[in-house]
Chain A
Amino acid sequence: MAIPLPLLILLAPALGALVLCMVGSGRDALVRRIAVVSTSVSLLGALLAIMRYDPAAGGYQHELLIPWITAPRVAFHLGVDGISVVLVLLHALCAFTGVLISYAIKERVKEYYVFYLLLITGVFGVFLSLDLFFFYFFYEMAVIPMYPLIGIWGSDVKEQGVVRFSKEYATMKLTIYLTLGAVVALFGLLWLYVSSGAGTFDIPELQRHFALQPLPETLQRWIFPLLAIGFGVIAPLWPLHSWSPIGHAAAPSAVSMLHAGVLMKLGSYAIIRVAIGLLPAGAHAWMPVVAVLCLMNIIYGGFVAMAQKDLKLIVGYSSSSHMGYVLLGIACLTPLGMSGAVLLMFAHGIMTALAFAIIGAMYDQTHTRYLPELGGLAHQMPFLATCGVIAAMASSGLPGFANFVAELLVFLGGWDAYRLQVVCGVFGVVITAVYMLRFVRGTFFGASKPAFAHVHDATTPFARLPYVILIGALLIVGCWPQPILRIIDAGTRPLMLLLSVPQ
């Protein structure tokens, strides 16, 4: 094949954005078609990449290396291992369905899709980069388009008609939090680069270098928290999470999908790839702290989600609660826990994207997300209500869905190291069930309300496509997790080797 897969995946949305800039204004149908084409190319590329990934061989595959800067040595190095290839697929799924969901956007369509495709490009870049320079480059590039996307096309978070958070506030808070986290991480990255003495930003090369000459343990203990906190902001690690629920709530639904579905995973992925992959001794020293903090994520986030009345805030807080499981799985530093964490990133990403898509489709017609005002929508939109129930079941970790498998792995992996956290984490599943059932009951069930008589369901196959894709992915992985787990395992195995080396 002429074009390496990672390049194809990365360039398709970037070129799409470039082409959109040249399209004349007012040609909305063409704009949407270009966005669909470019994201579907990425999706096909991601599917091919995961199908062609050889778990038996493991390591980095589909690599592409173009020397970029000679001093300091930087290379445009793309490639995937078992962890990132799964996350690339997650992002491709969310991006493609997000573009379909974005058909609801009616104003300033061209600008919207330009920013949206730039966001997609940035996130792909992070998952595909194997060079710290480009890793950070794409990471920061993914943050900035959020500002206009939420600020222009978002909506204020209201309670009984009173604005609780304006979208301007939400988007500024989000951007500043994430940038502040990014620069703290950058500080750590530069410190790591300089003290390595290897003179390269290439991640595999740095790993080989550290295998021979590990960084002194005290230095690792200093640099690790910078990376963990910096990337932890986006993960979002408690107590740095407060930007995320209101950011999710204010964003337009397709952006919430990407945001909760994929962007938060950038943080946990960066912690795995960079912080643990390059500083194993630092990870051993600091992970007990992270394990305590993510317990706060699970329990505190869950309780706050229970108290919310805005649907998007419920799902927003639930995301930060569920990311606690991901971080707990990572903190275990065991093969089971790590694989569970990666699978949970995938499962939670798809589930949250589904939930935000449903809420968005509902909000477009009801113009309210306030739980006490909703109810009985299953009468008007049976298909969406079914999808909503499925999302709630997946979120609560019912068997048959990918979330169940992933959470089980996290609990099993963490049992030896963090028994208290696992017990509390299992309790967190009960909290999830409570607020998800409240969401389902308050929104879909009950008597039909006359105010929503005009509401209609997603009826055409095209309108149903995004939901079908997402639910399909959840069920396939949930009922038959073995193939994807084999791939993830190929990615976590070398990490475990690294961690087991006595420092």
Chain B
Amino acid sequence: MNWAALSVELAVCGWILVMLTADLVLPTKHRGSLWALALLGIACAAWLLAQQPQISVAMPGMVIVDPFARYFKGLFLLTVGVVIVMTRTSGRGLPNTGAFYILLFTALLGTLVLASMRDLLMLFLGLELLTFSLYVMAAYLKTDSRSVEAGMKYLILGSVSSGFLVYGIALLYGFAGSTDFSVIRAALDRGPWPLTAQAGFLLILAGLGFKVGAVPFQLWVPDVYEGAPTPVVALLSVGSKMAGIVAMLRLLTGVFLPAQAVWAPLLATIAAATLLYGNLGAIPQTNLKRLLGYSSIGHAGYLLMALSTGSPSGSAAIGYYLLAYLFSTLAVFLVIVAASQAVGGDRLDDYRGLSKRSGFLAAVMFIGLLSLAGVPPLGGFVGKLLVLLATVESGRLWLVAVGAVSVAISLYYYLLVVKRMYLDPPASAAAIPVDGLTKAVLAALVLGILAVGIVQQPFLRHIIASLP
């Protein structure tokens, strides 16, 4: 056991206890500043992450730290940090934030474990830590029936998918005699792949497909996005999706690479269906969070498209895409959090004339949405370009056509939001105040979007160096 390699996870565990104690000890009037303590915890974890050596084994055969894990751990920490800023602004809506932060940290712990896992059991552990926290957080507004409904739906469908995952793990264990990745890989390399092992693989893929919102396991996404508290939706949209993709990337390019002929066409088909479902489904939506739910399905389609190539350039594209997606999505959700009190709801029409009420919020939303649509000079463009390029290299041109057309479709519904914000007259003329910290974080996210979109080389070099 190498404790130093586990320092980030241990720090997060420790901080859970700190938050728990602080929640108990702090007098009520100071509870409002718990967010600062939570941010401090993220900062500590990030510092520890920076101190870690490039490669180390934490638990032999179970958990390792490699550049790939460190890259994604950094992204997870960043995501949770921004989500904490969101809870601060929407704190009036969230009762008992102390307990919320504890759940946020357990979810974070789950994602950190996922980034480092070398064993199917760790995969299960990490995913369940993440999703169990999310079940509770989705239903966190106990008095809001939509939030409870969202939590309930997520719980039921999520536990079914966990069942798939466990069953798949059991079947693979029966095949290889171990849950260790290297043992399974060795067994695969040795020879024929029995039907049970194939079934096990497919079941695991189904379980992970649920987490990223891939067709045909995507039905929960719009409902949960609509009902759950906005900071939780942001975490679901970025953290949970990224965790699922990271796990898939580890499994497909690490363990199951010899079986590429089996899963590549399957993933390509799923990717095309996911792209079309998400992007076409978003068009008629009238609720902004629901629309973003559908659009997040579309983004899962692009990520699966890159996964289906199984090539290093596909993996690099995923790394880049997720970075741009993180900045853009978090910026959009932070604007929603900052504006929701003033505009009074999540309907698209509530955002009418936002540019006149707060030019800053509208501009950030504009940039975030266009980056999601893949418009240069914003980050999302480069991510999409790399994904399409990797897919052309893999020779699956029909999939490229689907992906390219989806860009134009997605631009349509993102522009429908822009139309509300810029073209339509506002319902009320009252200006929307934005506090300093939110403004600073939004500005930083926009800078991130622009940096990823314009100076690609440093990011790309780092990502390529981090590939497993």
Contacts and interface: CB of A to CB of B under 8 A. Distances in A.
Interface of A: 25, 68-72, 74, 111, 133, 136-138, 140-141, 144, 147-148, 151-152, 168, 172, 175-176, 179-180, 183-184, 186-187, 190-191, 193-194
B408 A179 contact: yes
A265 B389 CA distance: 27
B441 interface: no
B281 interface: no
B411 A179 contact: yes
Contact of B415 (A111, A172, A193, A194): A172
Interface stretch (B120-128, B189-197, B216-224, B370-378): B370-378
A152 B359 CA distance: 14
Contacts of B419: 151, 168, 172
A137 B376 contact: yes
Task: Please classify the interface of chain A as helix (H, G, I), strand (E, B), loop, or mixed, using the class held by over half of its residues.
Answer: helix
Contacts of B376: 136-138, 140-141
Interface residues of B, number: 31
B319 to A, nearest CB: 14
10 contacts: A138-B376, A141-B377, A151-B423, A175-B415, A179-B411, A180-B408, A186-B404, A187-B401, A190-B388, A194-B389
Contacts of A184: 404
A151 B422 contact: yes
B157 interface: no
Interface of B: 355, 359, 370, 375-377, 381, 385, 388-389, 392-393, 397, 400-401, 404-405, 407-408, 411-412, 415, 418-419, 422-423, 456-457, 460-461, 464
Contacts of B389: 72, 190, 193-194
A174 to B, nearest CB: 11
Contacts of B464: 71
B404 A187 contact: yes
Given A71-B464, A175-B411, A176-B411, A144 B375 contact: yes
A147 B375 contact: no
A192 B355 CA distance: 41
Contacts of A168: 419, 423
Contact of A183 (B359, B407, B415, B422): B407
Given A172-B415, A187-B400, A68 B408 contact: no
B328 to A, nearest CB: 15
Contacts of B407: 179, 183
A286 B411 CA distance: 31
Given A176-B408, A180-B405, 16 more contacts: A68-B456, A137-B377, A137-B381, A141-B375, A144-B375, A148-B422, A152-B423, A168-B419, A175-B415, A179-B407, A179-B408, A183-B405, A183-B408, A186-B404, A187-B392, A187-B400
B392 A191 contact: yes
Most B CB contacts (10 A, CB to CB) among A74, A133, A179 go to A179
B405 to A, nearest CB: 7
A70 B461 contact: yes
Nearest to B395: A194
Nearest to B362: A111
Contacts of B405: 180, 183
B388 to A, nearest CB: 6
A138 B453 CA distance: 12
B388 A186 contact: yes
B272 to A, nearest CB: 15
A183 B404 contact: yes
Contacts of A137: 376-377, 381
Contact of A176 (B355, B392, B393, B412): B412
B356 to A, nearest CB: 9
